[in-house]
Structure 1
Amino acid sequence: MLIVSTIGVFIAQGVQWRNHLQRIESRGKLIVAVRESEGIFWANGQEFIGFEKDLIAELERELDMPIQVFAVRDLDDLYGALAAGAVDMALSGTSFGTHDVIASRPYAMTRIGLVHPKTRNIADNPDLESVRTGLLDPLGHQDATKLIDNPPQASAVYDAGRISAELFTLVEMQDLDQVLVDERDFQLQQSVFPDLQFSALDLPARPISVLFNPREDGTLLTQIDEALELFDGSGLLGQMTDRYFGDALEFDYVDNLTFEKHLTARLPTYLSKFKFYADLQGLDWRLLAAQAYQESHLRANARSPTGVRGLMMITLDTAKEMGITDRLDPDQSIKAGARYITTLKNRVPADIPEPDRTWFALASYNVGAGHVEDARKITEKLGDDPDRWIDVRKHLPKLALKDYYPWTRYGYARGAEPVVYVANIRRFYNRIKKEYPQLDEAAEPERLEQLPDIDVPVFPGL
């Protein structure tokens, strides 16, 4: 009778039950945990970059709600916070097999497998006395872990808080024999670990999704699913995938080894010049250096049969336009290259954002701004977005086809060349950024231990 009378009092006072989304709205922000790792959510100078970071920003805009992000290195903590209701949702950035969570529609797909030295695949050595396998995500990957635990000599090792790059380093140091990860994680790091390779397990491709507490009532999940469906249909997810994984798809092992040698032997000679002239133009010197490597392999006396010369492979016309007299002089070449790429960026339509703006400018450096504009018009005519590099690069090769070039303003061009040109520079640029990170006033993420107690719990009934 006491319980019944108490319920009656609550009803009389007009108590109103609120669903998960309503509780978030009354709080005024969405609380999210995300794995802190390169390519996922990572500090780069004074800002954070990564696929999941960009995805969170897009969700914030689409939901029209502030999102507070807490970075997590130990995935046990991420799942623990999710289970306790301390966060509304989580982005582990890893694929998910079997675990007690609710998952959104996938925003990416990946294979799962083992990263190991190229010269030592454990699968080819069944008689090894012991096999030490590092784990990145013991819960999300627990179904796959069972496949590698069968040999009695195998041992899976989970060292809480290790990011993927640390695990790959331990394999190189032979402290681990292999690491169980998603191919997606390896693609983000493979240019730094050219002596390692990924071998997929015999499992279907796996989804990567936004994760929710199993007691989530579906109100937030529905909103996230609708947003992800919109992002997929608009091509936004494809564009983001290209931004972070495009250079991985172009990875060339032999060319990467050559680049590594030249990065050590040649780049230091011109480092101060790249920094000086890039700073004058408001450019990232590492991008300028990557472009110079693509142009000349950092050889100041480089010459081409077509008449271009020097570190930045400057034409005579460009040299006159940029006001230099000696294209083989490193100072003058870098100065001209920096000024010219800035000029080309300024010619790109103002409403095209970064990083596409830079990719269009680089393509123009290679094939000419007029030809790039022709390709943009072809792209638009064929129903794709002329302001997105991922779309335009599909149609640039058409400039060499007689079905297209007679109807363009600037005529025939070897349109496939700027596609490869930009892809290579992106790859070299990403590698130089890892070697020379911008550490001044580096941003620090909010970490899970800073989560205020007042926000727990966020689920009704907890």
Structure 2
Amino acid sequence: MRLLIPFLLALLLAACGDPQMPKLVDSRELIVLTREGATTYFKDDNGAPAGFEYDLAHLFADELGIDIRHVVVKHDKDILKQLKKGKAHFGVAWFGPTNDPDLLAGPSYFSSSNVIAQNDAALPIETPDDLDGRLVHVTAGSRQAAALDELRKRFPGIQASEHKRTTDLQLLERISGQRAESALVDRAVLDIASNYYPQLQYSLTVGGEMPISWVFPAKADPELVQKADAFIERIRSDGTLARLVDRYFGHVERLSAADVVRFVERIRVVLPQFKGFFVAAQIETGIDWRLLAALAYQESQWNPLATSPTGVRGMMMLTEETADRLRVSNRLDARQSILGGSQYLSALRDTLPESVKEPDRTWLAMAAYNLGMGHLNAARRIAEGLKQDPDSWYEMKTVLPLLARPEYYLRLKSGRGRGGEAVIMTENIRMYYDILTRHEAPYRPYSSNQAAAMNSSPPR
């Protein structure tokens, strides 16, 4: 018995010192550690989880044929600690390379870098020497916090401030409002934030370009790591990864800082006059009022009297024929124009075949709003001939400009089309919509704030 007790104790200590998730074949679900972030994980207006890496992990779980559970923690450091304890299969938090022997970087699916962000009114930072004596803000436990620590070993005059309860976007909002001077953030996050806060500017890049990947425990099931490698390779080869990248990042660099400043100012000054009409149009069509407002801004800059040389008029720039069909008696009446244009977009979206899923369905309908459904269908046929997916907005973006080339349009009943213009319009609307979702709340029926919005409409 005296010999048995030490033996059992040794076994117990060994088991405690070597934590490990069950092998893939024995797992009932894929457990993934993540944190809130613009590139990683967030909740949409309806409380549903979303995000580039969130969607990517779900695609992987679907391929494995296994359920997935996201465990959301505060910081990158928390994820890495939990992985070492065997609490999850892998971590998803926009990780760069790791030198930790207890961790293993998976296959790369993106690349990014760390950059200093400033307000455009601040003195520029061009070299690390310019940071001497300056305070740089970072989110606590992040890759940027670790990079700043390394930089301070070479330039000890740099001061650091770590924020424990602040996301990257919230930190950049502080920089935009001049409540902080500079921050070290991920470049992809700054690309997104620049459209919400046009006062932000890019300064110094700290370190070089780095691969972004999932992180596994060093003792992860080799089969799981191999399947992750094969999965990333497959979606890279078949275009799935490129389509996902386009969904979250493909439109973020379309607008200039001046465009964003002008748009945000008009959200404040002009939009309140017409918000009630957009909300009423959502009630009629089911389309998010902010998306309808984004479309209207692209069409007319929210000018109800807008008129183009081609004869389209009003807030939603309706043709006379379309207005007659929708029983819009006065295209220069903002209420009529908004409701009519919204009904037209809804009809276009409903016309698309069931094989077209969201969000591609909405973006293709937006293109048809500009082009007409005849031209869009012609472009879809061209796509099929080129072995492209006519249901994918990502692939149709490259096909639609072909409508302006004679070798294509001379064979089409619909004739020449301004497909490139439709792509630009739709991509701009995507960005305007993203900005509006940061500044305006969704419509919630029967809430007091929505009643106020309805009452804010100008008299007819």
Answer whether TM exceeds 0.5 for this pair: yes
Task: Specify the alignment match of 2:40 in structure 1.
Answer: 40
Q: Do residues 151 (structure 1) and 152 (structure 2) align?
A: no
Q: Distance in 2 between matches of 1:35 and 1:46?
A: 16
* C-alpha distance 105-39 of structure 1, shift in aligned 2 (>3 A): closer
Q: 1:219 aligns with which of 220, 223, 243?
A: 223
**Alpha-carbon contact 2:95-2:215 (below 8 Å) kept:** no
Q: Distance in 2 between matches of 1:269 and 1:99?
A: 56
Q: Distance in 1 between matches of 2:130 and 2:148?
A: 21
Instruction: Give the C-alpha shift of residue 429 in structure 1.
Output: 0.3
Q: Any idea what the Cα deviations from partners look like across 1:345-370, whole Å, max 9, x if unmatched? A: 01112111000000110000001111
**Alpha-carbon contact 1:117-1:197 (below 8 Å) kept:** yes
Instruction: Give the C-alpha shift of residue 158 in structure 1.
Output: 2.1
Gapped runs of 5+ residues in structure 1? 11-18, 442-462
Q: Distance in 2 between matches of 1:149 and 1:427?
A: 40
Q: Distance in 1 between matches of 2:38 and 2:151?
A: 27
Q: Distance in 2 between matches of 1:114 and 1:125?
A: 10
Letter in 1 for 2:105: A
Q: Do residues 435 (structure 1) and 435 (structure 2) align?
A: no
Task: Specify the alignment match of 2:133 in structure 1.
Answer: 130
Q: 1:108 aligns with which of 102, 106, 110?
A: 110
Task: Specify the alignment match of 2:52 in structure 1.
Answer: 51
Q: Distance in 2 between matches of 1:26 and 1:399?
A: 53
Q: How does 1:36-435 map to 2 (within 5 A)?
A: 36-44=36-44, 45-96=46-97, 98-100=99-101, 101-119=103-121, 120-123=123-126, 126=129, 130-136=133-139, 138=141, 140-141=143-144, 142-143=146-147, 145-147=149-151, 149-199=153-203, 201=205, 203-435=207-439
Q: Any idea what the Cα deviations from partners look like across 1:24-75, whole Å, max 9, x if unmatched? A: 5434111111121234211112311211121122122111101111112322
Q: TM-score, normalised by structure 1?
A: 0.87
**Alpha-carbon contact 2:21-2:87 (below 8 Å) kept:** no
Gapped runs of 5+ residues in structure 2? 12-18, 446-460
Counting aligned pairs with the same residue, the percent is 30
Q: TM-score, normalised by structure 2?
A: 0.87
Q: Distance in 2 between matches of 1:437 and 1:78?
A: 32
Instruction: Give the C-alpha shift of residue 2 in structure 1.
Output: 5.8
* C-alpha distance 317-393 of structure 1, shift in aligned 2 (>3 A): same
Instruction: Give the C-alpha shift of residue 404 in structure 1.
Output: 1.5
Letter in 1 for 2:112: T
Greater RCO between the two (CA within 8 Å, min separation 6)? 1
Q: Distance in 1 between matches of 2:412 and 2:21?
A: 52
* C-alpha distance 134-318 of structure 1, shift in aligned 2 (>3 A): same
Q: Distance in 2 between matches of 1:255 and 1:344?
A: 28
Instruction: Give the C-alpha shift of residue 121 in structure 1.
Output: 2.2
Q: Which moved more, 1:38-47 or 1:293-302?
A: 38-47
**Alpha-carbon contact 2:148-2:160 (below 8 Å) kept:** no
Q: Distance in 1 between matches of 2:443 and 2:91?
A: 28
